[in-house]
Amino acid sequence: MMRKALAGGPSEPAWFRSSYSGGTDGESCVEIAVAPRTIHVRDSKQTDGPHLGLTPQAWTAFVTYASAG
C-alpha cells in the first residue's frame, strides 16, 4: 500500500489516502490520520465533515477483521 499525505494546517493532522482507493469517480475512499493515541478516519469527499476517532487497539481490530473477509 502506498499513501500520500494531504496538506493541512499546523494543528490539522496529516491525512493519508491509500493508493488502493478508487471507484468510478476516483474519490471513493476513506482517509486516516495517525496521532499518538488516536487513529482518525474520515470520508475523503467530506474533509470538513465529521470523522471517527479510534484507539490504536480498535483500529488494529478493525483492519484485522476487514482483511480477513
pLDDT per residue as tens digits for the range 11-59: 678 888 876 666 666 566 888 999 989 999 988 888 888 999 999 999 9
Residue scoring higher pLDDT (43 or 69): 43
- The residue ranges of DSSP E strands in the chain, in sequence order, are 3-6, 15-18, 30-34, 39-43, 52-54
How many whole angstroms separate alpha carbon 15 and alpha carbon 65? 22
Task: For residue 33, count other CB atoms closer than 10 A to its CB.
Answer: 19
Report helix, strand or coil for 62: helix
